[in-house]
Amino acid sequence: MSTVVTFPSSGAYVDALQDTRRCFVDPELVGCTIRTDRFGLPRPISGNFASVFTADTTAGRRLAIKCFTRDVPDQQDRFREIEAALRDVQARWKVEFRYVEAGVLVQGKPYPVLVMEWIEAKQLISWIEDRLRTGDRAALGRLADGFAQLVASLEAAGLAHGDLQHGNLLVTARGELKLIDYDGMYVPALRDRPAMELGQPNYQHPRRAASDYGPWLDRFSARVIHLSLAALAADSTLWYRLHKPGGEYLLLQKYDLEDPASSPALASLGSVGAQFRSRAEGLKDAVGKPLDAIAPLDEPAVTRADSTAKMQSTATNGGTPGSTASWLDDHLPAPSPVLLGRPPWITRVAWYASLLLAGALIAACLYVSASASDTVAAALIGGSGATAGLTIVSWWISFLRMPQARARRARRKAVRTARAQEKQVQAQLRWQIAAREESIATYQRELAILSDRRTQIDQHAAAEYARIDRWRDEELAKLVRERTGLQGWKSAELARRTSSVESRHMADELARHRIDAAQVYGIGRAVVAELEAVGIRTAADFTGIRVDRGFGRSISVRVLHRDGRALKVPMVGEVRARHLDAWRVGLENRVRVRMPAQLTAAIRAQLDTEAAIRQTGITARETAIRHAADVQHKTAHGQTQSQRDALVADEQSTRSSHATAIAAIDRDCALHREGVAAAEHRLRLERRTLEAYRAVSFRNYLRALSLGRP
């Protein structure tokens, strides 16, 4: 039966890591500098069963140190096998790490740590938002390619990460993916053990269990991430429609994966294009399969910049064909040409007769004009030209009355009508596309307003939390100073009270020694009477003497009364005064030597009791301050949560309204695209039909009249 180890809390690690020269056992970590918070304490990034600290070693390396706060079964064996399996893997996504069994001392007891290479990179969601702000969709396509290669590299090595999600995918400044957090990784040496964790629910198979543990473990989550990245590379508006700011997912959430058939998010991804529709259907099928039956992610590279632009143009500019197969038009047989036919002989005779008549008239006019005046000649020549023109016009009218010519005119009119209809439906489609773009722009403006509201709510909440924390910290700092000064107060109070008690004891003892009963040199009954006259009867009644020397041999002696008065006592000169003072000082010394020690002990015990009471009061006030701060935190959190709930409701309403509007516009666009395709198809057919009347022309009619064949 394995023994359950109790690990330190995150706070215990914070206390221990304040002195890295003593707490760390690993040579590389001894003396390292831990990144701190605003209070100067080591700053942890707390997770499910560990806290991670950032450290700068004395050699200039930056490391991430994972300190475990919860017992994980066979943790040491797992990390040993994972480290051994990754040692031979040559991949750019790999992050170096090592498991140190006795890495840190907490309260004198060693605990393991995981030392990881620090990566200067951004988490996947932050990186995506940066690319979307700059409009760099090609980078999203390249990242999707890189992710597919990363997954293929893992599976080729017989490994599985076990928790593929945005938090464990970092993107460097060069656009390279780094995979971190190998705690739940599968390696062949662990095949007979259960999984240590089940991964982030927004990326995992809904029915994943601890028994699901093998090289196929990442196939479902890889499809979720790959589909999201690929779709964003094709249509960046999906991010604003499907991703909630601060959400722990990309485009799909747990409920989308649990019920994919009714997921609007999956439907939106499938509507981007045929390729994505196929991928979305593949993800739906994968939900109904066991994890080990899901096929690997073997799809080719995701959309490039040119293909994404083409797909976007198709989605927005009506490039999808309608129900009519336009490509078939070029393969249809050409319609049979319409010919004029051979004119009847009577018509040809009339044609020849009209030509002869016109020629005779023209010749006569020319003959007469040769001998006539210029005016007459010009009139005759004009008349001959008019005659020829009338002849041509009459036969032109005859041509227009032919059935083939009338049919040709009808076909031309049909072509003009089809062209006008095509332009009309094209204009309607362009209007719908413009309406769609305007709807998206309005939606993005509304999202920006909601984002500003969220920012304001978060800023107000952060400011309120900071105010509460600042008040709590200031009040606690006062208590810390008060608690720190408690020992100084005890020392000062002990000295003060001891001095007071000793002074009273000294006064009581000195009061027992009367001057008239003492044998003080030079102090007789007369002097005693003088002293009693000014209120000095015992050694306690005066505190000393003062001798003032004036000019010459003048001397003034004063006896200092205990109330502070300087008394001039008759018959008490300098000699008697000094003997009297020496007698009092001798008494003081004897009393001080015999001062009872239990007086100080009693005072100390009393002070300890008072200090304990004060300490209890400080602790009670500290508890009250923390409780008041917690109450204020909960109140502020409740208000913030209420505002966020209202914001979420507004966001959902906005997203729902936008989705409904876009769906309606897309339906209208689809109908108009079909209308455009139908109009184009009709125009092509009308033009092909008109081509059959190419031989129906006035020139060919005149040729047929002249030669007898079309």
What whole-number distance in Å separates Cα of residue 231 and Cα of residue 265?
A: 11
**Greater pLDDT, 378 or 93:** 93
Residue in this structure with the two tokens 């991703």, named with its chain if needed = 243
Q: What is the pLDDT of residue 272?
A: 82
Q: Are 232 and 210 in contact (CB under 8 A)?
A: no
Alpha helices in 538-573 (DSSP H): none
Which pLDDT score, from 0 to 100, does residue 304 have? 38
CB 181 within 8 A of CB 168: yes
Give the pLDDT of residue 330. Answer: 45
pLDDT tens digits, residue range 657-699?
A: 877 777 777 777 777 777 777 888 788 888 888 888 777 777 7
pLDDT of residue 97: 85
Q: Which helix (H) or strand (E) holds 84?
A: helix 75-87
User: Cβ–Cβ contacts within 10 Å for residue 576, how many?
Assistant: 21
How far is residue 521 from each of residues 239, 509, 528, 577, measured CA to CA in Å?
Answer: 109, 21, 12, 10
Is pLDDT at 373 greater than 70 in this prediction? no
3-state secondary structure 603-628: HHHHHHHHHHHHHHHHHHHHHHHHHH
Window from 215-219, 351-355, 555-559, 685-689 with minimum mean pLDDT: 351-355
DSSP state of 109: E
Tens of pLDDT, residue by residue over 293-336, are 888 886 443 343 344 434 344 433 333 333 334 434 444 556 67
DSSP one-letter string for 467-511: HHHHHHHHHHHHHHHHHHHHHHHHHHHHHHHHHHHHHHHHHHHHH
**The most confident of 64-73, 214-223, 662-671, by mean pLDDT:** 214-223
Percent of the residues in the chain that have a pLDDT greater than 70, as a whole number: 88
Averaged pLDDT, 93-107: 86
pLDDT band at 383 (very low <50, low <70, confident <90, very high): low
pLDDT in tens, 489-503: 878 877 787 778 778
Instruction: Tell me which of 144-148, 155-159, 271-275, 445-449 is least confident.
Output: 271-275
Q: Is 101 left (phi over 0), alpha (psi -120 to 50) or beta?
A: alpha
**pLDDT value at residue 381:** 60
Whether pLDDT at 83 is above 60: yes
Of residues 679 and 252, the one with the higher pLDDT is: 252
- Mapped onto helix, strand or coil, the DSSP state of residue 320 is coil
Closest CA to 518 of 539, 491, 490, 549: 539
Picking from 399, 333, 388, 323, the residue whose alpha carbon sits closest to that of residue 362 is 388
Per-residue pLDDT at 631: 92
Measured in degrees and rounded to the nearest 5, phi and psi for residue 567 equal -105, 135
Q: How far apart, in Å, do the first and last CA atoms of the chain sit?
A: 108
Q: What are phi and psi of 294, to 5 degrees?
A: -80, 135
Residue 384: pLDDT band with limits 50, 70, 90: low
Give the number of other CB atoms < 10 A from CB of residue 331.
Answer: 7
pLDDT digits (tens, 9 = 90+) for 527-573: 889 899 999 999 999 999 998 887 767 788 899 998 889 999 888 88
* C-beta of residue 385 within 8 angstroms of C-beta of residue 377: no
Q: Concatenated DSSP letters for 114-163?
A: EEEE----EEHHHHHHHHHHHT-HHHHHHHHHHHHHHHHHHHHTT-B-S-
